[in-house]
Amino acid sequence: MGAGPGDPGLLTCRGRDILQSADVVVYDRLIGQELLALCREDAILIYVGKTAGKHSMTQDEINAVLSEHASRQLSVCRLKGGDPFVFGRGGEEALYCLERQIPFEVVPGVTSAVAAPAYAGIPVTHREVATSFAVVTGHTKAGAPADLPEADTLIFLMGIKALPQIVENLLQKGRPASTPAAVIRWGTTAEQQVVTGTLADIEERIKQAKLTTPALIVVGDVVHLREQLQWFDNPATRPLWGKTVVVTRAREQASTLVAQLSQSGARVIQCPTIRIAPLEDHAALDGALAQFAQYDWVIFTSSNGVEHFFRRLDACGHDARLLGKAQIAAIGPATNDALKQHGLRADLIPATSISESVADALIQRSPAAKVLLIRATKGREVLQQQLTAAGWQVDTIPVYQTVADTGNADEVRRLLSEGAIDWVTFTSSSTVTHFVNAIGSDAIKAHRATFQVACIGPITAKTAAENDLVADIVTSGSGTEELAAELCRAVE
């Protein structure tokens, strides 16, 4: 199966379905974590990546792995970068399966040979410039550059080390030294680098830019079109291009913010310092549900609270009708959006998405009443305290918990030490606390001057400041859209 050229959005629908169902996934070097995250939690993941001169497994060993797991009647996904039949040795592995009577399916992938130039603003054909193109391997089995076909546009895969020989061969074949050329590294990803020149100077230009593998080479007049068609790596239209942004939100919630930042050009590093988990004991919530008619108001302080509340509601054989005449308060628009997914709308949303504003708005709107407060096991007590002081009866019921998640901490520490992080974003006080615990306060202090901090809401910013992470951006609301927009404005 082809994984595509690097951008996880270019995975095919069929590819997504297979990754979500496979028992075993045998994957190559350039497969991103975003794709592996689609796999089942109990799937067996086997890395068989290769780099020049360093193979984690030989091809014979890889073949043996495929045979071993398939013989156990497991569904095996052989996940290869780009397209499996375009210089991916997919044909060899398919023949191996055929010889052993192992049933197989081929799932094509978007090849980097076409996608990387497209993301660089270079069409491989153009009616007025190039009516043919050829894809050539940068090295053959014998290790020498491949013979050069006749075509208007030539794309060389895995050829950056053989660039001197490729240029020499092209010149000997009669290509003018002024022929445009481009080298594209990490095409279709936020780390994409593009160097353009001619056959006369492209070698020197990539040396100056210090470009290394993985990269491909494009030769032909179509390279000139990049001057007009550059879109992906264009700061004018994607203001966060070239910026690395850390997202600390729980992975279950981060997809929207990740998408917003990525669409603006950022390289997003997910460092989910917390993970949202269900409770082991639902006795408190079950008791409240059994006597729900006693409550005048239900307060939801997060979209997570909404989702876990309704999961338990369903597990107990109830639905939204149980809420009856109770009025609903939501801490902010995002929480109200989560309620809408269950056919409900909040009766009260404060102007500012903080607990103090919820309490003030309730006290101004209604006489003292009985409230069910839905929240995590740990959280700020100010909402309960203010309402209780005003004579309200408050039952605080946890419906989920946040637990530490340090899975990506090592990578973030490494990037901090290299000065490669531009922004760290925090969406709640708990993300700040867990980030400091995961990365270490000493590491953060040592590199604090190299990155900026963006926080959703003043409460999160206050917690950040208490941990020597004074925020450069503080949004007024709780939505991720405002955070992404403020980051774009900050770099303009």
* Active-site annotation holder among 7, 17, 23, 28: 28
Other CB atoms within 10 Å distance of the CB of residue 92: 11
Output the 3-class SS for the chain.
CECECCCHHHCCHHHHHHHHHCCEEEECCCCCHHHHCCCCCCCEEEECCEECCEECCCHHHHHHHHHHHHCCCCCEEEEECECCCCCCCHHHHHHHHHHCCCCCCCCCCCCHHHHHHHHCCCCCCECCCECCEEEEECCCCCCCCCCCCCCCEEEEECCCCCHHHHHHHHHHCCCCCCCEEEEEECCCCCCCEEEEEECCCHHHHHHHHCCCCCEEEEECHHHHHHHHHCCCCCCCCCCCCCCEEEECCCHHHHHHHHHHHHHCCCEEEECCCEEEEECCCCHHHHHHHHCHHHCCEEEECCHHHHHHHHHHHHHCCCCHHHHCCCEEEECCHHHHHHHHCCCCCCCECCCCCCHHHHHHHHHHHCCCCEEEEEEECCCCCHHHHHHHHCCCEEEEEEEEEEEECCCCHHHHHHHHHCCCCCEEEECCHHHHHHHHHHHCHHHHHHHHHHCEEEEECHHHHHHHHHCCCCCCEEECCCCHHHHHHHHHHHHC
- Residue 207: active-site member: no
Selected catalytic residue, list 50, 337, 360, 462: 50
Q: Is 286 a catalytic residue?
A: no
CA atoms of 106 and 362, how far apart (whole Å): 60
Could you list the active site residues?
28, 50
